[in-house]
A and B are shown apart, each in its own frame.
Chain A
Amino acid sequence: MAVKEKAKIMDAEAIRRALSRIAHEIIEKNHGTKDLLIVGIRRRGVPLAQRLVDRIAEIEEARPAMGILDITLYRDDLTTRSDQPVVHRTEIPGNVRGKKVVLVDDVLYTGRTIRAAMDALMDLGRPQQIQLAVLVDRGHRELPIRADYVGKNVPTSRKEMVELRLNEVDGTEDMVLIVEKN
């Protein structure tokens, strides 16, 4: 599939500031870091969750627990995809029971990934609360889901795609791009 880069909507500095603000908002909303569990959704949610944990630790002098969620087995499109995603491990420290879980993902779009992530999380126990942090909300929801923390709201058309490039994953400078399928 040929894609065309249309615009850079966030650069490294903008991403850093957005995450820093979200870190403050998480602390404020949860009155500190007690019972907090930051869970990154594979794949790009994981380095974002790690950065949030690091930032929160700098601000609060207390490091919240971090987990990794693989939602492959909970997807609702497994039977309609022709290629099959590889299952990776879910790594959640301890029990999620009673925890205030903040799910972290890069882009919020249809909401189906978050639906799958909530189901996956619930199967591990009964958290006290689930909150959602995303770097970009691009609209076009297909489920009644909204984010508690948003880095940037970006109106998009369905033909466009929002891509996050991260140093940890892609080896490039951090940026958020809008690309268009031709």
Chain B
Amino acid sequence: MGRLNSKDVLALREMSAEEMTLILDTAESMKDIIGREIKKVPTLRGRTVVTLFYEPSTRTRTSFELAGKYMSADTVNLATTTSAVVKGETLRDTAKTLEMMGSDMIIMRHPVSGSCHLLSRVLKCSVINAGDGMHEHPTQGLLDIFTMRQKKGRVEGLKVAVVGDIYHSRVARSNIWGLTRLGAEVTVTGPSTLLPPMVEEMGVKVTSRVEEALEGADVVNVLRLQLERQKGGLFPTIREYSRMFGVNRERLARAKPDVLLMHPGPMNRGVEISSEVADAVYSSINEQVTNGVAIRMAVLFLLLGGGEAA
């Protein structure tokens, strides 16, 4: 028997190793369902899931929607640009409205860090954080860890390098909290202006030399350079970033021969990652997408599948 300790999934920082392992184990079974001829189980029949995205997304929103549909939940996508949000409705009022219509779960992406925690306090229904500002993106962290566990057979003791704009990246934060809690050895690297202050306190090694971070790595997780968040001139030019920190074949040669290359997508090809390595056999970038659906099915099941949350 197992269940999560909360009605919400907001941040991996708040999640125990046991809870994460339960989600990863459940996702193994869910992945089988995605590969079947009939990709549907009746588990969440009669449950309603709403995605509320204040920022654009292809894979996260679609994979949550498909995860719900594969489990027979009714899924509704709210595009904020065509909703009352443009009339100035507050986040709290929009979310409460959705809850009063009978939603069992709200999956939200929002540009403000901590916005999902706010919702979880005002709503009785489950809330999943699908990315809040520069804070966390827990299901992305879990799917990255799931991919590593499937490919490497373990998480504990893995040497993982996270490369890029750590400062703005919620994916990096969720990776760091999750991986360190499960016993992986994480090194982060990027331009020193894009490394958050005190990042060492999160239990990771830090270097501003990408070569050093990649040395002997089992896994290299390349972050997207978030061009939409780069307004402060934190690095000189995209070309220089690419030259100094772009992951290419020469740099990747420093990692273990059986290195696993990951990227949460969408990729800026030729900027943070070269096309040559992105499409190579050791890259799991496409499989990460399938794993994303499996992880989200697992989270939906664990939050909505049982009775009243403890």
Contacts and interface: CB of A to CB of B under 8 A. Distances in A.
Report whether chain A binds chain B.
yes
B40 A90 contact: no
B303 to A, nearest CB: 10
B301 to A, nearest CB: 7
A123 B38 contact: yes
A73 B36 CA distance: 15
Interface in A63-119: 70, 73-74, 78-90, 119
Interface string A119-145: 110011100000000000000000000
Interface in B1-57: 1-3, 22, 25-26, 28-30, 32-33, 36-38, 40-43
A86 B3 CA distance: 8
A31 B40 CA distance: 34
A86 B2 contact: yes
A87 B32 contact: no
Interface in A42-61: none
Contact of A78 (B1, B37, B305, B308): B305
B28 A73 contact: no
A124 B36 contact: yes
B306 A89 contact: no
Contact of A74 (B22, B37, B42, B302): B42
The majority secondary structure among interface residues of chain B is loop
Given A73-B41, A74-B41, A123-B40, A84 B32 contact: no
B88 interface: no
B26 A87 contact: yes
A42 to B, nearest CB: 11
A109 B26 CA distance: 28
Interface in A156-180: none
Contact of A82 (B29, B301, B310): B310
A124 B39 CA distance: 9
B307 A80 contact: yes
Contact of B301 (A83, A87, A88, A89): A87
Contacts of A74: 41-43
B28 A84 contact: no
A44 to B, nearest CB: 16
B32 A86 contact: no
A79 B42 CA distance: 12
B41 A85 contact: no
A90 B307 CA distance: 23
Contacts of B43: 73-74, 78
23 contacts: A73-B33, A73-B42, A73-B43, A73-B71, A74-B43, A78-B43, A78-B305, A79-B305, A79-B306, A82-B307, A82-B308, A83-B306, A84-B2, A84-B3, A84-B307, A86-B22, A87-B26, A88-B29, A89-B28, A89-B29, A90-B32, A124-B36, A124-B38
Given A78-B305, A123-B38, 14 more contacts: A70-B29, A73-B29, A73-B43, A74-B43, A78-B43, A82-B306, A83-B1, A84-B306, A86-B2, A86-B22, A87-B29, A87-B30, A90-B32, A119-B42
